[in-house]
Amino acid sequence: MLRYAVRRLLFAIPTLLVISFIIFALLDLAPSDPTAQLPLTIPEEVREMIKKSLGLGQPFHIRYLKWLEQFMVNEPLNLIEQYWNIQIGDSESRLRVRSWSTRAPVVDLIADRLPQTLSVVGISYIVAILIAVPIGVVSAYKQYSIFDQLGTFISMVGFSVPTFFTGTVLIVIFSVMLGWLPSIYDTTLEVTDVDSFIAQFKQMIMPVMVLGLFNAAQLSRFMRSSMLDNLNQEYVRTARSKGLSEPVVILVHVLRNSMIPVVTVIALGLPSTFAGAIITEQIFRINGVGQLLIGAIEGADIPTVQTVTFIFAILIVLFNLVADLLYGILDPRIRYD
C-alpha cells in the first residue's frame, strides 16, 4: 500500500505537468478576450496596447514557461517567506502570478476567498453527507417502504431542479415575502460576538441548504443502490446466521462494504468544495473561489483561470489517490500490485 501510494505520488508530477500544459493551451485557444468588458468607446489601438502590457504579445511557449516558473517556484518561495518570515534571495523582483483584471497576485485572491468557500460549500457538503447516508441506508434496508418511496421522490426532485431555481425561490419566500433572511451575503461581516454570529448564521442558511440538498439527492441515490447490492450478498446471510445483531450487520458490515461508490462520489466532490459552487455563489453573491473563477472566465483573465484550475487539478489528483487508498481499507481484498 505504501509503495503504491509513493509510486502514485511520483507519477502525479508528470501527470500534473501535462494537465497544466493542456489547460494553458486550451485557455490560449479560447476566443474570449481580456478587453471585451471595456467600454466600447475605448478604441482598438488602445486595446492592443493594453493587451501588450498584459504580456499577450509574447509567443505561447514563453508565456507558458513563465507561468510555470511563477507558479512552481516563485509562489512557493513566497509562501515560505511569509510563513517563516524570512527572506530568500531577491524576493522584491521575483514575479508572481498576477490576475489581469485586478493586477493582484492570484494566490492572494484565492487566499482571500478560501474561507467563504470552505465554510459555505464545505458545510453544505457535510450537511449533504449527514442527510444522504442515513436516508440511503434506511431506504435500502426498508426497500419499497413509504420512507423509501418518499426519500426517492424527494431526492430525485431535488436533483432535477437546478440550483438557480431553488435559490431564487428560497430568496423570494424567505427574503422578499417573509423578510427573515438576507438575500445578499455580507462578506465584510466579521464574527466577533453573539449578534454577528447570528447574522453570519442567518446569511449562511439559504446557500448551505440549496447546495446541501442538491448534493444530498445525488449521494443518497448511490448510497441506497450500493446498500441494496450488498444486502443481498451471501456474507450478510452468513453474518446473520452467525448470530450477529442486526445493527452490527447493517452498520458495520454492509455499510462498510457499500461505501465504495459513495467514497468515489465524495472524493470527487471534495475538490469541488475548493472550486466552489459557481451558480450558488453567484445567486447569493458569496465571494468564494467559484465566483472568482467564473468572473475570471468571463473576463478572460487567463492567469487567474489557469491558476485556480490547476490548483483544482492538484486536489483532484490527490483526492483520487486518497479514494484509491480508502478502497483498500474498506475492502482489504483490493490489491493494486
Partner 1 sequence: MTESVQSQTLPIEPETAVEFKHRSPWLDVWHQFRSHKGAMAGVSVFTLIVLAVLLGPYIHDIDPQYLDYKSKNQGMSAVHPMGTDNLGRDMFAQVLAGGRTSLAVGVTAMALSLTLGTLVGVMAGFFTRLDGVLMRLTDLFLALPILPLLLVIIMLFRDALRSVFGPEIGIFMLIVFVIGITSWMQTARIVRGEVLALKERELVLAARSIGTRPHRLIFRHIFPNVLSPIMVSATLGVAAAIITESALSFLGLGFPSDFPTWGRLLFDGVPFLNINPARVIWPGLAISLTVLSVNYIGDGLRDAMDPRIRGR
Partner 2 sequence: MLKTRTLILATAAVAMFASAAHAARGTDGQLKILYWQAPSILNPFLSGGTKDIHASSLIIEPLAHYDSDGNMVPALAVEIPTVANGGVTKDLKSITWKLKKGVLWSDGSAFTAKDVEFTAAYCLHPEGGCNAAERFQDVTSVEAIDDHTVKISFKVPKPFPYGPFVGSEAPIIQKAQFENCMGAKAPSCTEQNFGTIGTGPFTVAEFKPNDVVLYKMNENYRDPAKPAFDSVLLKGGGDAVSAARAVLETGEFDYAWNLQVEPEILSTMAKAGKGEVLSSFGTSVERLMVQLTNPDPALGDKRATYQGGKNPHPFMSDKAVRRALSMAIDRAILVDAGYGPAGRVTCNVLPAPAIYASTANDWCKTQDIAGANKLLDDAGWKRGSDGVREKGGVQLSLLFQTSTNSVRQGTQALIKQMWAEIGVETELKNISASVFFGGDQSSPDTFQKNFADIEMYTNNFNGTDPENYMLRWTCDKMPSLETQWIGQNMPRYCDPEYDKLAAYLAETASIEERAIIAKKMNDMLIEYGAIIPLIHRGGVAARANSLGGGAYPNVWDATPWNIQNWHRTK
43 interacts with partner 2 by CB under 8 A = yes
273 interacts with partner 2 by CB under 8 A = no
Residue (of 130, 146, 148, 158) closest to 218 by Cα position: 158
The binder of 238, among partner 2, partner 1, none, by C-beta within 5 to 8 A per type, is partner 1
DSSP code for 75: H
One-letter identity of residue 218: Q
The binder of 215, among partner 2, partner 1, none, by C-beta within 5 to 8 A per type, is none
Q: Which residues contact 263 (CB under 8 A, 6 or more apart)?
A: 323, 326, 327, 330
Q: Which run of H or of E encompasses 240?
A: helix 234-241
Residue (of 300, 298, 311) closest to 99 by Cα position: 300
Q: Which of residues 231-250 bind partner 2 (CB under 8 A)?
A: none
- Alpha-carbon distance of 104 to 102, in angstroms, equals 5
How many residues touch partner 2 under the rule CB under 8 A: the total is 58
Beta bridge partners of 98: 105
Q: Interface with partner 1 by CB under 8 A: which residues? A: 11, 15, 18-19, 22-23, 26-27, 29-32, 144, 149, 152-153, 156-157, 159-162, 164-165, 168-169, 172, 218, 221-222, 225-226, 228-229, 232-235, 238-239, 242, 253, 260-261, 263-265, 267-268, 271, 279, 293-294, 297, 305, 309-310, 312-313, 316-317, 320, 323, 327, 331, 333-336
Residue (of 202, 215, 186) closest to 116 by Cα position: 186
137 interacts with partner 2 by CB under 8 A = no
Radius of gyration of the chain measured on its C-alpha atoms? 24
Going residue by residue from 186 to 225, which x/- string records binding to partner 2, judged by CB under 8 A? -xx-------------------------------------
One-letter identity of residue 61: H
The binder of 333, among partner 1, partner 2, none, by C-beta within 5 to 8 A per type, is partner 1
176 interacts with partner 2 by CB under 8 A = yes
Beta bridge partners of 105: 98
Taking a C-beta distance cutoff of 8 angstroms, is the pair 105, 67 a contact?
no
- Chain positions contacting partner 2, by CB under 8 A: 29, 31-54, 98-105, 108-109, 112-113, 168, 171, 175-176, 179, 182-184, 187-188, 282-283, 285, 287, 291-292, 295, 297-300
